[in-house]
Structure 1
Amino acid sequence: MSITPPQNPRLAAALIILATVFIAATTLLAKALGTEALGPALHPLQISHGRFLFAFLVISMAVGAMRFKLRPPQWRLHIGRTSCGWLGITLMFASVAYVPLADATAIAFLNPVFGMLLAIPLLGERVGPWRWGAAGIALVGAMILLRPTPDSFQPAALLALAAATIMGLELIFIKKLAGRERPLQVLWFNNALGMMIASAAVLPVWQAPTALQWGALAALGTLMACAQACFVNGMARAEASFVAPFSYATLIFATLYDFIGFGVIPDWITLIGAAVILSGAAILAWREGRHPSVKAPGIVEKGSLTP
């Protein structure tokens, strides 16, 4: 008996857009927690710990309510995927404390490009001229956002670039997991392992959060769990090539939240760099949609900020 839900492109698009609303909100909360907006700035390791802790609690409640039966997992793949996801999101949370959310979010969209490049040595995939061209365009956009001049270079943007690279490696593990386990089980093990890794890593830098910060950490984890649920369900209800472009709305909401929360207005370099990166990602998604038999890991399989 098939466990695939009925195809519904409109619902799928709505779910993906809702996921981007949640994802962008998590980066805003991470920025508030990593600065002094809600009290003494928290270390990125503590912010990512809150993300995994509360997401795990939310997903565990869903598993219990649904009486979902967990089955023996692919441990090596889960550990590899979660380790990359934890490190990637920690670097991302570190970057948003210093650079505009629009810049960090746009750079994060490089993860499918890095996933494609890493698939060559790790999965033995072949990359044609269209995919190389799309990767080249996206990387040019990243260089624009890095502002590589002595007066405007943003060292913290390198954290977002490193996050995109690590998340690209995570896509390799996700591709290997695809089809082997049910989505809810993948989410549960991802967050359970992530919570354990984050709990060990946070010990040296732990500081008691304020009540407001505890609330923000709980909201961050809850929003991430909601984003993951929306994304998984959206991807199950339509062709990946159809829903993938809707994930770009993350950049719109991140820019909006940054303006509302911190009064940050994107400059022309941000707009140009983001447009170039999204153009490269869009070409890659379009190409993979036309040639699904030559599918590489990327945004068509996973949201850019939902490790």
Structure 2
Amino acid sequence: MSAQNTRLGIWLMVLTTFIFAVQDGISRHLADNYNVLMVVMIRYWFFAAFVIAIGVRGAGGVRKAAATSQPVVQMFRGVLLAGEVCVMVLAFTLLGLVESHAIFACYPLLVAALSGPVLGEKVGWRRWAAIGAGFVGMLIVLQPGLRVFEPQALVALCSASMFALYGLLTRYVARKDSAATSFFWTGVSGAVVMSFIGIWFWEPMTGGDWVWMAILCVTGAGGHWTLIRVYEVAEASAVQPFAYFQLVFASTLGVLVFGEAIELSTALGAAVIVGAGLFALWREYKAKRRLAGG
């Protein structure tokens, strides 16, 4: 992988995190006024149309994009991600963008912790130390004894746990399926399940909010497209640490657009979580290098 491609991948990852942060801000605005399930359902309709269009244009068409020897796991992945999106958007309305993302930042640590039982990977003491440090960071954000057992604080943590499991299952299916196949099942499965659920919560929307919904759908597709490009031009280990920029962008939107405040405990806890996450990613990179003989 050339340095030029790695630099391009880093910039594309930063752009992706910015797009997703904007998407989160729009999701919060719409979910403040409409049912979360309806908002996510419409978003998934566009997402499904997007992945089907990509499948049609690819070699072999939709049939090849959908071909998999593990359809149950693929469907479960798609449903799990749809559920995670619903839970995270709900967290935005309960906690705001700043605190939700501060807690959600722990998901790479959850991936590291669960990679052993789910994927059979070895987790050494250094990564366990990083996981422990991230847990301390979460306690700082959640303020033990004050709010740690309130449902509002646990919603974002639930979302992070769901996304971590989704990431692990994505690694699992990647052993047999291509990224295009996983992407296809993610969009279609999510759209099907959200249609069955969200249609019961349909509410009329104003003209202005339909514009925001259209922007939400476009940013969703655009963000996924740039993310695909990221992994086409650069190694995941080189660009993954830059995914934490989403915390920065989302927090900035929360403060400037929604008038949220960044408390000292939230900033400190987020810094500990991000630091621990970066260390865990570095240890994973080193482990892969050793296995590759690099």
Q: TM-score, normalised by structure 2?
A: 0.89
Letter in 2 for 1:272: L
Q: Which one of the candidate residues 145, 149, 152 is aligned to 2:145?
A: 149
Unaligned ranges ≥5, structure 1: 36-40, 296-307
Give, in whole Å, the separation in 1 of the partners of 2:169 and 2:106. Answer: 17
Q: Which one of the candidate residues 262, 268, 271 is aligned to 1:266?
A: 262
CA contact (8 A) 1:83 1:194 kept: yes
Q: Which one of the candidate residues 113, 128, 133 is aligned to 1:117?
A: 113
Q: Which residue of 2 aligns with 1:84?
A: 80
The aligned length equals: 287
Q: 1:180 to 1:211 in 2, by over 3 A?
A: farther
Is the partner of 2:176 in helix, strand or coil?
coil
Structure 1 residue 242 displacement after superposition? 1.4
CA contact (8 A) 1:105 1:254 kept: yes
CA displacement 1:8-27 (0-9 Å, x = unmatched): 11110111011101111111
RMSD value over aligned CA atoms?
2.4
Aligned ranges for residues 1-307 of structure 1 at < 5 Å? 8-35=5-32, 41-65=33-57, 69-70=61-62, 71=64, 72-73=67-68, 74-150=70-146, 155-292=151-288
Structure 1 residue 140 displacement after superposition? 1.4
Name the one with the larger helix percent. 2
Give, in whole Å, the separation in 2 of the partners of 1:10 and 1:150. Answer: 43
* Mean CA deviation greater in 5-14 or 196-205: 5-14
* Mean CA deviation greater in 138-147 or 243-252: 138-147
Give, in whole Å, the separation in 2 of the partners of 1:200 and 1:206. Answer: 12
Query: Between the two proteins, what is the percent identity of the paired residues?
Result: 26
* Mean CA deviation greater in 14-23 or 209-218: 209-218
Give, in whole Å, the separation in 1 of the partners of 2:59 and 2:122. Answer: 42
Structure 1 residue 54 displacement after superposition? 1.7
Is the partner of 1:291 in helix, strand or coil?
helix
Unaligned ranges ≥5, structure 2: none
Give, in whole Å, the separation in 2 of the partners of 1:68 and 1:7. Answer: 32
Letter in 2 for 1:176: Y
Letter in 1 for 2:94: Y
CA contact (8 A) 1:99 1:156 kept: yes
Give, in whole Å, the separation in 2 of the partners of 1:19 and 1:232. Answer: 10
CA contact (8 A) 2:147 2:153 kept: no
Q: Which residue of 2 aligns with 1:304?
A: none
* Mean CA deviation greater in 61-70 or 137-146: 61-70
* Mean CA deviation greater in 25-34 or 200-209: 200-209
Structure 1 residue 293 displacement after superposition? 6.3
Q: TM-score, normalised by structure 1?
A: 0.85
Is the partner of 1:262 in helix, strand or coil?
coil
CA contact (8 A) 1:58 1:222 kept: no
Structure 1 residue 77 displacement after superposition? 2.1
